Amino acid sequence: MKSRIPTAVVLFAVLAVLFAGSAQAAGPLTYADDKGDALGGQASMDIVSVTFDTRQVNRTGPKSLVFELELAAPPETGTHVVTTYMIRTVMNGCGFQSHLHRDSAYSHDAFFYMRCLDLFLPAEVTVDKNVVQWTISLNELPEGHRKGALGSIRASTSIDEPVLGYFGTGSIGWAEGPRPIDLATTKKTWSY
């Protein structure tokens, strides 16, 4: 009996070390991306950091889920080049993504999309200098998704076709997969 207790303690300690840092509980999750790694050196398409948080955005009501994409320079605008700024993740087992399309037929179109429910949700989007921020009230999320965790986190920027802005460098099926202008990923998960 004495030999099993130390073995269990050692096993628990090893597992704690292996999983430390892979999950982030309450509080914001921010991860960085290498500055200057965007294809073509376009600072307006170069992701510097990505942040997830829950905040009180309005004076009253519930907190909001907040996604922030920090770029090396302000996003493209007025160039007649369609650009997309996107964050994709998995929310409680459901694909969840935020989009901002600039200068397409759906100019400045911003939304959240839940793939498993085929559901578009309203997104408030603001651009403050070089930060794109999406917010949605936690009450706007479907009942089973108002608390949970985000995983498989991936932020990207792309240049898209000029009519609708839905197909481009980040979505074309190249043999190696999509080629966004910049891509920032993390293996961490975040609980909200």
Is 76 part of a structural domain of the chain? yes
How far apart CA 49 and CA 109 sit, in angstroms, is: 22
In this prediction, residue 77 has a pLDDT band, given cuts at 50, 70 and 90, of confident
- Residue 151 is assigned to a structural domain of this protein: yes
Residue 12: inside a domain:
no
CA 85 to CA 99: how far, in whole Å? 6
CB–CB of 112/123 below 8 Å? yes
pTM given for the model: 0.77
Task: For the chain, give the mean pLDDT.
Answer: 79
Residue 8 covered by a domain: no
Residue 80 has pLDDT above 70, yes or no: no
More confident residue, 131 or 166: 131
**Where in the sequence is the domain holding 116, given as residue range(s)?**
28-191
pLDDT, position 31: 97
Most confident of 22-36, 135-149, 152-166: 135-149
Total structural domains within the chain: 1
Instruction: Please indicate whether residue 23 or residue 71 has the higher confidence score (pLDDT).
Output: 71
Q: How confident is the model at residue 9 (pLDDT cuts 50, 70, 90)?
A: very low
Residue 10 lies in a domain: no
Identify whether the C-beta of residue 102 lies closer than 8 Å to the C-beta of residue 181: no
Among the listed residues 31, 98, 48, 161, the one whose alpha carbon sits nearest the alpha carbon of residue 170: 161
Contact assessment for residue 102 and residue 75, using Cβ atoms and an 8 Å cutoff: yes
Inter-residue contact 164 to 106 (CB < 8 Å): yes
List the structure tokens of 29.
């999750």
Q: Tell me, what's the pLDDT at 48?
A: 97
Query: Is residue 70 a part of any domain in this protein?
Result: yes
Q: Would residue 49 count as lying in a domain?
A: yes
With beta carbons less than 8 A apart as the criterion, state whether 188 and 129 touch: no
> For a pLDDT cut of 90, what percent of the chain falls above it?
46
Cα dihedral value 105, 108, 112, 118, nearest 10: -10
What pLDDT does residue 178 have? 53
Q: Judge whether 2 lies within some domain.
A: no
* CA 99, chain centre distance (Å): 9
Question: Between 35 and 170, where is the model more confident?
Answer: 35
To which H or E segment does residue 19 belong?
A: helix 4-19
